[in-house]
Chains A and B, each alone.
Chain A
Amino acid sequence: MRHVLRLGYALALAGSAYGPVHAHPVVYSTQLVTDGQLGSWVFSQAMVTIRLQGDTGNTVTTTQGGDTVYVNDVGDAEVTVSQGGKTVTAQLDPGQIFARYDPVNGSVGFGSAVGPWYPVVLTCEQQSAGCNRATLVASTARGFSAGQILSALVDIDGGDSPYYSTAVPGLQTDLRGATLLTGYAIACAAYNYTSTSCPSTLPGPITTDKGKLYFLGQDYAGKGVFTAILGPEQDD
Chain B
Amino acid sequence: MSLRNKLGCAAIGAVGWLAAASASADPVAYTVFAYTDVSLNGRLFHNAAVTMSYAGDTANIQAWCATTTSANDPNCTSDGSFIVAQGWKLETGTAKVRIVSGGHTYRATLSSQVIVSYDHYNGGAGFSSYVGSDHHLEPAYPLTVDGSSLLFNAPDMMTTGNWSGHAWSCVGFPPGTSGLNTGTCADPSVYPIQTDAGPLIVYQPYVSYNPPNFISDDYNGSLNSGFFSVLIGSPSQGDE
A: residues with CB less than 8 A from B are 31-33, 45-47, 82-85, 144-149, 152, 162-165, 167-168, 171, 178, 180, 182-183, 185, 219, 221-225, 227, 231-234, 236
B: residues with CB less than 8 A from A are 33-35, 47, 49, 100, 102-105, 148-149, 152, 160-166, 205-212, 216-217, 219-220, 223-227, 229, 231, 233-234
Cβ contact within 8 Å between A227 and B35: yes
- Interface of B (DSSP majority class): strand
Q: Which residue of B lies closest to A231 (CB)?
A: B103
In the complex, how many angstroms separate the beta carbon of B176 from the nearest chain A beta carbon?
Answer: 12
Instruction: Select A164's contact among B49, B102, B223, beta carbons within 8 Å.
Output: B223
Complex A-B, nearest 9 residue pairs according to Cβ-Cβ distance, in ascending order: A147-B220, A145-B208, A223-B225, A182-B225, A223-B164, A167-B205, A234-B103, A222-B149, A162-B211
**Residues in A whose Cβ lies below 8 Å from that of B206:** 149, 152, 164-165, 167-168, 171, 180, 182
The verdict on A46 contacting B162 (CB below 8 Å), with A33-B149, A234-B103 known, is yes
Q: Tell which of B34, B166, B207 has the most Cβ of chain A within 10 Å.
A: B207
In the complex, how many angstroms separate the beta carbon of A158 from the nearest chain B beta carbon?
Answer: 14
In the complex, how many angstroms separate the beta carbon of A120 from the nearest chain B beta carbon?
Answer: 13
Cβ contact within 8 Å between B105 and A236: yes
Instruction: Select A45's contact among B100, B161, B224, beta carbons within 8 Å.
Output: B161
The verdict on A33 contacting B103 (CB below 8 Å), with A146-B223, A219-B149 known, is no
Instruction: Select A224's contact among B205, B208, B209, B225, beta carbons within 8 Å.
Output: B225
Q: List 27 A-B contacts (CB under 8 A).
A: A31-B227, A33-B149, A33-B162, A33-B163, A45-B162, A82-B162, A84-B160, A145-B208, A145-B209, A145-B210, A146-B208, A146-B220, A146-B223, A147-B166, A162-B209, A163-B216, A167-B206, A168-B206, A180-B47, A223-B149, A225-B35, A227-B47, A231-B102, A231-B103, A232-B103, A234-B105, A236-B105
Add 11 more A-B contacts to A163-B216, A165-B208, A222-B164 (CB < 8 A): A31-B227, A45-B163, A85-B233, A146-B220, A149-B206, A162-B212, A221-B148, A223-B165, A224-B164, A231-B102, A234-B103
The verdict on A182 contacting B162 (CB below 8 Å), with A163-B209, A221-B149 known, is no
Instruction: Select B103's contact among A32, A146, A233, beta carbons within 8 Å.
Output: A233
Cβ contact within 8 Å between B148 and A223: yes
Q: Which residue of B lies closest to A84 (CB)?
A: B160
**Residues in B whose Cβ lies below 8 Å from that of A165:** 205-209
In the complex, how many angstroms separate the beta carbon of A195 from the nearest chain B beta carbon?
Answer: 16
In the complex, how many angstroms separate the beta carbon of B140 from the nearest chain A beta carbon?
Answer: 16
Cβ contact within 8 Å between B208 and A147: yes
**Residues in A whose Cβ lies below 8 Å from that of B149:** 33, 219, 221-223
| Bound CA span A225–B206, Å | 13
**Residues in A whose Cβ lies below 8 Å from that of B212:** 162
Q: Which residue of B lies closest to A185 (CB)?
A: B164
| Bound CA span A220–B211, Å | 29
Cβ contact within 8 Å between A84 and B103: no
**Residues in A whose Cβ lies below 8 Å from that of B102:** 231
**Residues in A whose Cβ lies below 8 Å from that of B223:** 146-149, 152, 164, 168, 182
| Bound CA span A46–B229, Å | 10
Q: Which residue of B lies closest to A143 (CB)?
A: B210
Cβ contact within 8 Å between B164 and A180: no
Q: Which residue of A lies closest to B238 (CB)?
A: A85
Q: Which residue of B lies closest to A152 (CB)?
A: B223
**Residues in B whose Cβ lies below 8 Å from that of A222:** 148-149, 163-164
| Bound CA span A45–B217, Å | 27
